[in-house]
C-alpha cells in the first residue's frame, strides 16, 4: 500500500509540473512589460517616459482650437408678447325700436354709409295718421286757450277755466310729440359712419321690435384687446408701442398704441386686459381677427450682445470665455434681454471683446492657450500660437 501511495504522489507531482509549464508557454514574454506600463501612470508621466516618447501624447498637445465671435453693441427692446382679438372702433347691430312691415331698404350688403344715412323704412301710414290727428287736436287746444285767455282778461271767465285750457294745450302738445317720435322710428338711420354687414331681412317682411336688421361697424380704426400677465402691470403705460401681426397678411406688421388698461386683474388667470388702438384707413382689418402682438416696455439703444452659444450656464450662474492674449479667460456675466439668437450682457463683456462660441468642452481650466479655428477678423483678435508650435510650422521651418 505504501508503494502505491508513493507512485500516486509522484504521478500527481508530474501532472502539476506539466500544467505549470503549459501555462508559462501561453503567456508572451512582453505581456508583463505592457501590464506594468498600464499600471504605472507615474512612470509614464516622467520625462522620457512612454507617454512623452509617443507621438500625440499630452506633453506634445498644443493650444486648444475654438471658434469665436465679437461682442457687439446694438439696439434692443424689452418687450412682451401676447395674443388677442381685433375689434372695430364702434360696432352695433341695427334693430328697430317698434314693430312694423319693411317697405324699403336703403343699402346694399357690405356698403359704406355715412352717419344719418337711411337704412330701413317701415310702414308709417298708421303712425302718420295718428300724428296728423294729434296735430289737429293741438291746433284746437291752442285756439281754445287763446280765447279763454282773452275772456279771462276781460273778467268773463274764472282763473280756473284759464288754467284748465292751458293744461289741455300742454297735453295736446305732448301727444303730438309722442306721435311724431313714433313716426320717426319707422325710418331707421345709421347712428355713425361705417361699413355694413349682410342684411338679414327683405322688403315686405314684418319685423318685431329688437329684430336684427344688419351689422354696422366703424372700421376706420381698430381696437386690439390683449391679456397680459399681471407681473407686467407695473411696466405698462398708455402710449407704448404695440406691433400687431395678423394671419391674413403674413409678413406685414401694423403699429398700434396702448390706449387703456382694465380697472381690475382677472383673479382666475392672474392677467390684466390691455387695449390698444391702430389706424385702419383702407379697411383691410376686420373685427374678430386673431392678432399676435408685441408690446415694447423699454428700449436700449446701445446694448452689449453676444451669440447665445457663447453663454455657459453653471447652475444659476452664467459664464463666458473671453479671449485675451491668446488665452481663454473664464468670466462671470449677468445676462439681460434675449432676441433673435443674441443675449444682452449687463457686465463682464464690452463691445469688441472676442468670446468663445464653440469648443467650451475642451477648456478644462481658466486661462488655457487657445487658437482660433474660424477665419476672418475674429482670428486676428485671438491669434494662435507662434510659428514653431504647430506641426505645419515645424515642417515649413525644416524647408518642406
| 315-350 tens-digit pLDDT | 788 888 888 888 888 888 888 777 778 888 887 788
Query: What pLDDT sits at residue 389?
Result: 38
- One CATH from 3.40.50.300, 3.40.50.720, 3.40.50.1370, 2.40.30.170 for 81-88+221-300: 2.40.30.170
Residue holding cell 453663454? 311
Query: What pLDDT sits at residue 141?
Result: 92
Residues of the chain with CATH 2.40.420.20: 64-75+302-386
Query: What pLDDT sits at residue 211?
Result: 92
Query: What pLDDT sits at residue 87?
Result: 93
Query: What pLDDT sits at residue 377?
Result: 42
Look at 198-202, 204-208, 263-267 and tell me which has the smallest mean pLDDT.
263-267
Residues of the chain with CATH 2.40.30.170: 81-88+221-300
Residues of the chain with CATH 2.40.50.100: 96-207
Bridge pairing between strands 290-307 and 72-94: antiparallel
For 297, list phi and psi in degrees, rounded to 5.
Answer: -85, -40
Look at 45-54, 126-135, 316-325, 326-335 and tell me which has the smallest mean pLDDT.
45-54
Separation of alpha carbons 213 and 199, rounded Å: 6
Give yes or no for residue 358 having a pLDDT over 60: yes
With 0.85 as the threshold, say if the pTM is over it: no
Bridge pairing between strands 271-279 and 214-229: antiparallel
The arithmetic mean of pLDDT across residues 81-85, rounded, is 88
Express each pLDDT in 136-184 by its tens digit. Answer: 999 999 999 898 888 888 888 788 888 898 999 999 999 999 999 999 9
% residues pLDDT > 70 (the chain): 80
* pLDDT band at residue 6 under the 50/70/90 scheme: low
Instruction: Specify the fold of 96-207.
Output: OB fold (Dihydrolipoamide Acetyltransferase, E2P) (2.40.50)
The arithmetic mean of pLDDT across residues 11-40, rounded, is 52
Q: What does the mean pLDDT of the chain come to? A: 78
Could you give the C-alpha distances from 178 to 30, 101, 132, 397, in angstroms and in order?
124, 20, 12, 113
Other beta carbons less than 10 A from residue 393's beta carbon: 14
Cβ distance 277 to 226 under 8 Å? no
Query: What pLDDT sits at residue 400?
Result: 32
Separation of alpha carbons 78 and 299, rounded Å: 6
Q: Which CATH architecture has domain 64-75+302-386?
A: Beta Barrel (2.40)
284 is written with which cell numbers?
Answer: 383691410
Chain centroid offset of residue 71 CA: 26
Bridge pairing between strands 327-339 and 342-347: antiparallel
Amino acid at each position: 500500500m505504501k508503494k502505491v501511495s508513493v507512485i500516486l504522489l509522484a504521478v500527481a507531482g508530474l501532472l502539476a509540473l506539466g500544467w505549470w509549464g503549459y501555462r508559462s508557454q501561453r503567456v508572451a514574454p512582453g505581456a508583463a512589460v505592457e501590464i506594468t506600463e498600464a499600471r504605472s501612470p507615474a512612470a509614464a508621466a516622467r520625462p522620457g517616459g512612454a507617454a512623452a516618447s509617443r507621438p500625440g501624447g499630452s506633453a506634445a498637445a498644443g493650444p486648444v482650437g475654438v471658434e469665436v465671435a465679437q461682442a457687439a453693441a446694438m439696439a434692443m427692446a424689452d418687450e412682451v408678447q401676447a395674443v388677442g382679438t381685433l375689434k372695430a372702433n364702434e360696432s352695433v347691430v341695427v334693430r328697430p325700436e317698434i314693430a312694423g312691415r319693411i317697405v324699403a331698404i336703403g343699402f346694399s350688403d357690405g356698403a359704406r354709409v355715412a352717419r344719418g344715412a337711411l337704412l330701413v323704412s317701415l310702414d308709417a301710414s298708421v303712425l302718420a295718421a295718428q300724428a296728423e290727428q294729434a296735430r289737429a287736436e293741438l291746433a284746437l287746444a291752442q285756439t281754445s286757450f287763446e280765447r279763454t285767455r282773452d275772456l279771462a282778461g276781460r273778467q268773463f271767465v274764472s282763473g280756473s277755466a284759464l288754467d284748465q285750457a292751458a293744461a289741455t294745450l300742454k297735453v295736446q302738445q305732448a301727444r303730438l310729440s309722442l306721435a311724431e317720435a313714433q313716426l320717426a322710428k319707422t325710418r331707421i338711420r345709421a347712428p355713425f359712419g361705417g361699413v355694413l354687414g349682410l342684411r338679414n331681412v327683405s322688403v315686405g317682411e314684418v319685423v318685431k321690435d329688437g329684430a336684427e336688421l344688419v351689422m354696422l361697424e366703424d372700421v376706420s380704426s381698430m381696437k386690439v384687446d390683449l391679456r397680459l400677465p399681471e407681473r407686467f402691470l407695473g411696466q405698462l403705460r398708455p402710449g407704448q408701442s404695440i406691433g400687431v401681426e395678423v394671419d391674413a397678411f403674413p409678413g406685414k406688421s401694423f403699429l398700434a398704441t396702448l390706449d387703456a388698461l382694465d380697472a381690475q386683474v382677472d383673479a382666475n388667470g392672474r392677467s390684466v386686459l390691455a387695449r390698444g388702438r391702430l389706424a385702419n384707413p383702407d379697411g383691410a382689418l376686420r373685427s374678430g381677427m386673431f392678432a399676435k402682438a408685441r408690446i415694447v416696455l423699454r428700449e436700449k439703444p446701445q446694448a452689449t450682445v453676444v451669440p447665445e452659444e457663447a453663454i455657459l450656464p453653471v447652475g444659476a450662474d452664467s459664464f463666458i470665455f473671453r479671449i485675451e492674449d491668446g488665452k481663454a479667460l473664464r468670466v462671470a456675466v449677468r445676462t439681460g434681454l434675449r432676441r433673435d439668437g443674441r443675449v444682452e450682457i449687463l457686465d463682464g463683456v464690452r463691445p469688441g471683446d472676442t468670446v468663445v462660441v464653440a469648443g467650451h468642452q475642451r477648456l478644462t481650466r481658466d486661462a488655457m492657450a487657445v487658437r482660433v479655428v474660424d477665419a476672418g477678423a475674429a482670428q486676428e483678435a485671438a491669434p494662435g500660437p507662434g510659428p514653431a508650435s504647430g506641426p505645419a510650422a515645424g515642417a515649413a521651418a525644416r524647408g518642406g
